[in-house]
Amino acid sequence: MSSKELAVSELHRLIRNGHYAPQSQLPSERSLAEQLQISRSTLRKALATLESEGELWRHVGRGTFVGKCPAVESEVFPLPADLTNPSEVMEVRLILEPEIAVLAAHRATKTDITFMRQCLVKGDAARDTATFEMWDGALHRVIAEAARNTLLLALFQAVNAVRGHAIWGELKEATLTKQRRKRYVVQHYNMVNAIERRDAVDSQRLTREHLKAVRDDMLNKHY
């Protein structure tokens, strides 16, 4: 067995046994060559083999890393979190989410729907607001994913990010009485039922009604 092949094996082993964790950075070529007691050019040949097998990736000036090279950095877009307000956010949600429900009614998989049902059960059983909110969020998100439009999902998540803000959080907390939660749970069940039976029109209508209820509860009581 050649020097190179020995190095390939040893590096393979070190990666497999977790000595070099996934996504972690390996030592530099110069120090790794010294550590394995081979020349740097031999090491480079071994690394090239491992890279071609998808075990690691290398980048000039950065280093050598375990695993697959991360996807190209996404573009980013500015989000006017400090300039918008709850009313605008609800208005946007009322535009997006009923249409998301239409697409979800057409495109949801059995797995999607199973998870939606899980969210319903967990949300219904929640003992505090934070838990309820978490499952509420998860439900809306899986519906958005079920729409199967990457861009639309990104926009949905951006809107959610704005909702996550502190000023908004206080409104949520004060609004979510037990009575209202019960009503939202019923509305959630109806939405998921409509999606499951592939009824796009009902999905849209029920989502719109749910969001109007949320909006009215939130805005009328406090403004």
Residue 198, Ramachandran bin (φ over 0: left; ψ between -120 and 50: alpha; else beta) = left
* Cβ at position 69, least distance to DNA in Å: 11
d(CA 206, CA 216): 15
Q: Which does 157 bind (CB under 5 to 8 A by kind): DNA, a second copy, none?
A: a second copy
Q: Which does 40 bind (CB under 5 to 8 A by kind): a second copy, DNA, none?
A: DNA
d(CA 203, CA 82): 32
Q: What residue ranges bind DNA (CB under 7 A)?
A: 2-5, 26-31, 37-42, 44-45, 47, 58-64
Q: Which does 39 bind (CB under 5 to 8 A by kind): DNA, a second copy, none?
A: DNA
Asked if residues 20 and 14 have their Cβ atoms less than 8 Å apart, the reply is yes
* Cβ at position 185, least distance to a second copy in Å: 27
Q: What's the number of CA atoms in the CB half-sphere (13 Å) around residue 139?
A: 26
Structure tokens at 162: 């704005």
Q: Which does 58 bind (CB under 5 to 8 A by kind): a second copy, DNA, none?
A: DNA
Structure tokens at 155: 């926009």
Q: What residue ranges bind a second copy (CB under 8 A)?
A: 71-72, 74-84, 88-89, 91-92, 95-96, 99, 103, 149-152, 154-155, 157-159, 161-162
In the bound state with DNA, the residue whose beta carbon lies nearer, of 40 and 106, is: 40
Distances (CA, A) of 123 to 11, 89, 178, 187, 188: 47, 23, 12, 12, 10
Q: Which does 26 bind (CB under 5 to 8 A by kind): DNA, a second copy, none?
A: DNA
* Cβ at position 4, least distance to DNA in Å: 4
